[in-house]
Amino acid sequence: MSCAEIAAPLAARIDALAPGARRLRVRFWDGSELPAVDGDPAHPAVILRSPRALAHVAWRPGELGIARAWVSGEIDVDGDIEDLLRLRTRFEGLHLGPGELALLVRTARRLGALRGGRPPIPAAEFRKDGRLHSLRRDRVAIRHHYDVSNAFYRLVLGPTMVYSCAYFADPGESVDVAQERKLELICRKLRLAEGERFLDVGCGWGSLVIHAAREHGVRAVGVTISEAQAELARERVREEGLSDRVEIRLADYREVADGPYDKIASVGMYEHVGRDKLGEYFARVRSLLRPGGLFLNHGISRVAPHVRRRPWASDATFLSRYVFPDGELSLLGTVVEAAERAGFETRDDESLREHYALTLRAWVRNLAAGRERAIELAGADRERVWRLYMTGAALAFEAGEIGVHQTLFANPGGPHGLPLVRTGLMPHASASR
């Protein structure tokens, strides 16, 4: 009996629980294939390369088991991975009860998937260390994601080394130009002026502090808890000749104690703070800001209709174990409320959702063009993680399942200097060099 024949009863049960959803083919290691529920051969095929693909799912049913099989290379795709990911909403709400789980285990046993015991967990999976959102564990989580390889990130992100959404004038524009525009946009929203003290919380590889010092004459401090980021950021600062105006610190934002700063930015960092820590986060930032100073918070947000459908804070998802350990997204309203409870005044907000979809697609193209080099730099498992997560994230932003916002806050107690109307905010493509 072929593998496809053995698996047919399980497929039939899934089809009963999610009618019409299984618009994909499943190809087994013996060459047999389960057709899609509608029989269309044009649908993408999920390739199971060995019994270990099912072993991962049998030992850990659900998303995490599938993630482990994907990262380890036991599951692959024949066809466009986007076509497969677009099916994800069709299976939402699918629940495997005791009967289905028992059938899954019986099927896996008949296919020889349980003979070798529990398959090894891929090395790229996050291992917890310390109390959630403690200084120690946050360092471990950040280094898991960012201390992969600076060369790998340069391959994916391009020469700007900016790991947040760009700001496009049109969809066909170069991501490098759009990233430079985004840096300038942040500086203009903050109304940076010559000689001001500027703090970048979670500075990455230093792109924003370098731009702010070079183009606006500020004295900038960037903090990161990634050793690899700090090392390259300092190198880039030296190469730009800005060592007298830019300092890169290997420190957590909770360890910064040399305020006040005139302006502060946090770009793509708040997601690592944790929802329960948002009040502490905003209070700490405000304590470092002079009265009348401005703070720009740029971060990904949950979208209300999708909150219940997608448990972003779950510890057993692909994103939580392989991409952003301990990362938590909040509703925009939750973020603004936490900031205002900490004493900030909300001055402006802009959604950049469509921009992030365009950015991610550009990064996916960069990764595809340099796939072999990416594997050399970071390993096949990491390449598979980034390929899946960036493609899936692009689809999620396009569908409005998640958003991203730049929110501008003012610290009361002094003049903020903002104009009555939004003048001078839109930088041109050549605004930064």
CATH number for 364: 3.40.50.150
Count CB-CB contacts under 10 A for residue 64.
Answer: 22
Instruction: Give tens-digit pLDDT for 264-321.
Output: 999 999 999 999 999 999 999 999 999 999 999 999 999 976 654 444 445 778 999 9
Distance CA 219, CA 330 (A): 32
Are residues 174 and 241 part of one domain?
A: yes
Residue 121 covered by a domain: no
Are residues 105 and 139 part of one domain?
A: no
Are residues 154 and 53 part of one domain?
A: no
Given a cut of 80, is residue 431 above it in pLDDT? no
Lowest mean pLDDT among 50-54, 85-89, 92-96, 171-175: 92-96
Distance CA 323, CA 386 (A): 8
Residue 118 covered by a domain: no
pLDDT given for residue 79 in this prediction: 86
Concatenated DSSP letters for 192-216? --TT-EEEEES-TTSHHHHHHHHHH
pLDDT given for residue 307 in this prediction: 52
Answer whether 23's CB lies under 8 Å from 40's CB.
Answer: yes
| Number of domains forming the structure of the chain | 2
Residue 427 covered by a domain: no
pLDDT given for residue 311 in this prediction: 44
Are residues 152 and 58 part of one domain?
A: no
pLDDT given for residue 305 in this prediction: 67
Are residues 389 and 279 part of one domain?
A: yes
Are residues 324 and 248 part of one domain?
A: yes
Residue 423 covered by a domain: no
Q: What DSSP designation does 120 have?
A: P
Instruction: Give tens-digit pLDDT for 203-220.
Output: 999 999 999 999 999 999
Choose the final residue of a domain: 110, 127, 162.
110
Are residues 365 and 257 part of one domain?
A: yes
Q: To the nearest 10°, report the CA torsion of 332, 335, 338, 340.
A: -70
Q: To the nearest 10°, report the CA torsion of 17, 23, 27, 33.
A: 80
Lowest mean pLDDT among 192-206, 315-329, 339-353, 360-374: 315-329
Are residues 356 and 304 part of one domain?
A: yes
Angle at the Cα of 41 from the Cα atoms of 35 and 44, rounded to 5 degrees: 85
Domain around 46? 3-110
Are residues 237 and 198 part of one domain?
A: yes
Are residues 207 and 343 part of one domain?
A: yes
SS3 of residue 69 by DSSP: helix
Across-strand partners of 46?
Answer: 26, 77
Are residues 164 and 76 part of one domain?
A: no
Residue 115 covered by a domain: no
Residue 314 covered by a domain: yes
Residue 144 covered by a domain: yes
Choose the final residue of a domain: 110, 143, 162.
110
Are residues 167 and 106 part of one domain?
A: no
pLDDT given for residue 430 in this prediction: 45
Residue 416 covered by a domain: no
What CATH number should be reported for the domain holding residue 55? 3.30.1050
